[in-house]
Amino acid sequence: MTSRIVAVLNQKGGVGKTTTTVNLAHALARMGKKITVIDFDPQSHLAVALGVVSKQQTGIDEIMLGQATFSQQQIPVRENLNLIVAGPRLQEIEQLCEGGSHRGDLLRKALASGTNERDLIFIDCPPSSGILVANALFAVEELLVPMTSDYLALQGLSHLMGTIKKFETVLNKKFRLKLVMSRYIPTRRLSKDVVSTLKKYFPNQILATPIRETASLAECPSFGKTVFEYRPGWRSAKDFEALAGDFLESRVM
């Protein structure tokens, strides 16, 4: 069995990529799936959100540089949930990469072996459309795009879709794409308007459960806890449990 490798992607910052990665991954791990999350943002927010703060630890950086293997770099952080940190040299890779087109292929090669023992691998992408994101697009067949429901998010999405289409043409592949509504405010009319617009452009591609905006989700990272630890049974935990089911069964709006 080969593992599903999913890039959590949106070039816009603050849309909920890291929040989605942490809590969806933990929800799936709690269901018994073997999950690895990769912190692919040099800012290391994913590691912090999971309570791992060591700056010195190497991670995906050394796998990409051929100095460590996927299996070696995994840190067990919860039951069934492993983390691969960004590592201090990920930023360097981003800069080093300018110019050399083969550099786009480092992540795909890094994930070519050792990944089979995991059911699912999530890559928490940085908020950019630089070489790291290119590496993610080279490496995966599947994309999960967190989306806020405001007007500028719609604008940003059309830019992202342009990038994705370009890669599909160049790499001669078709991504499996799903959107997740994140930071959703159900009482806002604009939220509903944005969702209905999105449904027209992405039929059967928006996961059924929107993740609501809540104070507890904003508070979680400062405690290094997932929502299942910080507010078990609370509505955000329920949102992510439902989303995990949507994800596994491809339930859409």
Ligand X SMILES: Nc1ncnc2c1ncn2[C@@H]1O[C@H](COP(=O)(O)OP(=O)(O)O)[C@@H](O)[C@H]1O
**Site residues, ligand X (CB under 6 A):** 13-19, 45, 127, 182-183, 211, 213-214, 217-218, 221
Nearer to ligand X by Cβ, of 57 and 182: the residue is 182
Instruction: Pick what 183 binds: Mg ion, ligand X, none; C-beta below 5 to 8 Å, kind-dependent.
Output: ligand X
Residue nearest to Mg ion (CB): 18
Rounded to a whole number of angstroms, the minimum distance from the CB of residue 231 to ligand X is 12
Pair of tokens at residue 21: 């990665």
Rounded to a whole number of angstroms, the minimum distance from the CB of residue 183 to ligand X is 4
CA–CA separation, 46 vs 26, rounded Å? 12
Determine the Cα angle at 246 with ends 24 and 35, to 5°: 35
Instruction: Pick what 210 binds: ligand X, Mg ion, none; C-beta below 5 to 8 Å, kind-dependent.
Output: none
Nearer to ligand X by Cβ, of 39 and 62: the residue is 39
Nearer to Mg ion by Cβ, of 21 and 74: the residue is 21
Nearer to Mg ion by Cβ, of 17 and 225: the residue is 17
Nearest to residue 40, comparing CAs of 108, 105, 127?
127
Instruction: Pick what 221 binds: ligand X, Mg ion, none; C-beta below 5 to 8 Å, kind-dependent.
Output: ligand X
Rounded to a whole number of angstroms, the minimum distance from the CB of residue 52 to ligand X is 16
